Amino acid sequence: MYEVGTLVTVKSRTWAGINKQGGVGKITSSTFTSCSVKYVLGGSDKDIPTEFVTPFEEEGKRDRAAKPITEVVLDKLSPTPAPVAPVNPLTSKFTTFLLRLMSGSDEIAVSEIRRRWIEEEGGTGGEEVEGLVGGMEQRNVVMVDEGMVYKI
């Protein structure tokens, strides 16, 4: 016999003619042979035989899934690092910055471009910039950085 308000687990009773899923609930009334339960997730059952009801505290907690063990196999690692992919100057941050600046102003200071080039792309400061006068119609920008020539 369970006390009213006791938290219990009701085992599922699914066989021909019965489709009771069970679950966790509180006792609403109890006799020696059966009890009524109001489930925590909603719904209720009346006259459940006590053989299908167990106190919630007696239920063992489920073990958590073990974390997969990943071992690093040194034999499969490459002795040399992978090559670095080349940077496409047409999609670089600096190119995007230049196009944004040039689309809205008539004249852009070369020193500002050099400063941004150094900040955004890590340039060495030995860059050359030509033809930065004009708006959308003039986009002749040439930058030389560590032997690479970019023309936008």
Residue 77 domain-assigned (yes or no): no
Residue 69 domain-assigned (yes or no): no
114: containing domain: 89-151
Q: Which two tokens stand for residue 101?
A: 């600046």
Percent of the chain with pLDDT strictly greater than 90: 31
* Total domains in the fold of the chain: 2
What span, in angstroms and rounded, lies between the C-alpha atoms of 120 and 93?
7
Residue 79 domain-assigned (yes or no): no
What span, in angstroms and rounded, lies between the C-alpha atoms of 67 and 22?
31
Highest-confidence segment of 69-83, 89-103, 116-130: 69-83
Distances 18 to 8, 13, 22, 57, 119 between C-alpha atoms, Å: 20, 7, 11, 27, 73
Residues 51 and 104 in one domain: no
What span, in angstroms and rounded, lies between the C-alpha atoms of 80 and 120?
29
Percent of the chain with pLDDT strictly greater than 70: 47
Residues 51 and 98 in one domain: no
Residue 80 domain-assigned (yes or no): no
Reported as a single tens digit per residue, the pLDDT across 35-87 is 999 999 999 999 999 999 999 875 566 667 777 767 766 666 667 777 777 76
Among the listed residues 114, 142, 116, 112, the one whose alpha carbon sits nearest the alpha carbon of residue 130: 142
